[in-house]
Structures are given as C-alpha cells and as structure tokens.
Amino acid sequence: MREFLRDMGIGINSLIAGEGAAVSQLAELSGVPVAELRRGTPRTSDGQVWFAGNCFPAARVGGRKVRGCLDCLKGQPGLRGIWPLPFVTICPEHNRPLVTLWTIQDKLDRHDVTRRLPDLDLAPEGRPEPRDPSKFDLWWLDRLEGNTAFDHWLDQFDLHASAQFCLELGRAAIATTVPKWRALRDDEQWWPADVGFRLCTGGEEALRVALADLQHLMGRPEEGPRKIFGGLHDLLAADLCPKELRPFQSILRQHILKTWPLAPGDEVLGEPVLRRESISLSALA
C-alpha cells in the first residue's frame, strides 16, 4: 500500500490525517464518491479527530488495535470510519459486537485490509453472538448522525464529554454490586456507559439523587469523595479539566460540597473550599 500511494502521488500522512486533497485523490482512483469517502473518513488536526461534525481527542481514536465487524468485512472488505471511535462497541448494521481484527504498530500498515483480510476467520461460527443495542448505543449512534431524537438531557453537552461522564458514572454504580477487582469481560464493555446513561435520563435533579444513592451505597463520608466515586472523581479532578467536562464537574462539586463535612482550606475537584456548607442530616446518615 505504501508503494502504491507513493506511485499515485498521494501523501501517506495526509491520507491518514483525512486531509481533503488526499481523500479526493483516493476517491478519484477508487471510484467512490468523494462526499461519501469524506463522510466516512476521520480527519485529524492539532491532536483532535473530527468525525461527522464531532470532535474527539486523537489519543482516544484508533490505536494499535484495529476493531471491526466481521459481518461487514465478509460482505464488503474495508475498514469503516466509525469503528475506531471511542464508545463504539457494536455494529449498527448487524448488531454484532466489534472485535479486534489485528494489532499493528505502524499507522499505515494497520489499515492495509487487502494484506490482512486473508488471515481473518470470517466463518459464521467464529463471530461473536449478536446483541440488542443498548440505550446508550442508540443515543450515541444517533448523535453521530446529527440527530437528537432521544431528546435526552445530555444532548445539550459535548458528545465525547457526555460519554466519558456516562462511562465513569456507570463504573461507579456497577462497583456497588460488582467487585472493583473483577475486570469486565469483552462482551460486558458496553455495560458501564449504558448504566451511566440511564442514571442521567431524568436530568440534573435525577442525577443528583443518583449521586447521593451511590454515596450511601459505597461507604461512609469520612472515606472521602475519591474513595466513593473512583474514576468519576479522577476524571473531573484533573488539573486541566477540559471545558467540555466542566458542566459535569460543577454538578459533582456542588454535590460534594453539600454532602461532605468540608471546611475552608479543603479542596474539591481542584478548587478550594471557601466556606463551610450546611450539611443535611440525611446526607450524613
């Protein structure tokens, strides 16, 4: 592939980055309409990846492990632009969980489907069992298409930030019933984001109730917010919390201030406590 692109005058790095000129050249060679190719090709710029009008951190897209749907590859060889996106765990066409196709370090070689496809087992018995898309799956894919048919509270926020919040909120909720030391199986990876999504369905007020319930289930106030909320706390306590996550940071911070016996001099999610809040008896129960 490397030699072919060089012979055709297509810049390898430009194509990997999804730059318009390189994609147009490839469309002309392949006979695929350029609009269709651009729509399905992630575009990388300044550490970010753009796909279908949505922005994702480049570090969260793709990587050495190339995932895909075996049904799609059986019907029409070629990688789909949606497969490397974070939080995509199922093929929207076949309801088949995505699997790791191969693991390759080189950025170009990992996309060389023609070279690697013969080594894949595409037999029906080798494919994972299909599953129904979760509520989170349907919402996520709907948002990628630019639709907001769900009319969900999360629709007002950045897509990737909302999904991150759902994932960590769901992990915290699952930890009330599943030991933290037990890693989720591959066929369970969709579960945390869906749990978090459902907890957000009722909007901010319902979310505050869910946070209080988690707090009571996970331990005692003296154990501290990080002990209770785990990865959710770490996500929102980052020194440089992205602006897209700040609405969720504000909600969790206000919850902690109102339900923990904190005093001036303490710090909550990277910000100092300026005054002691009144704590309800039910919060300390």
What are 162-180's pLDDT values in tens digits? 999 999 999 999 988 887 7
Does residue 236 register a pLDDT over 90?
A: yes
pLDDT at 244: 95
Residue 116 vs residues 4, 111, 122: alpha-carbon distances, Å: 16, 9, 12
Does residue 226 register a pLDDT over 90?
A: no
196 near 207, Cβ under 8 Å? no
Instruction: Provide the sign of the torsion angle of the four alpha carbons 254, 256, 259, 265, taken in this order.
Output: negative
pLDDT band per the 50, 70, 90 thresholds, residue 278: low
pLDDT at 263: 79
Pairwise CA distance, residues 56 & 159, whole Å: 9
pLDDT at 282: 47
How many other β-carbons are positioned within 10 Å of the β-carbon of residue 217? 13
What are 41-97's pLDDT values in tens digits? 888 888 999 998 899 999 999 889 999 999 999 988 889 999 999 999 999 999 999
pTM across the whole model: 0.85
283 near 258, Cβ under 8 Å? yes
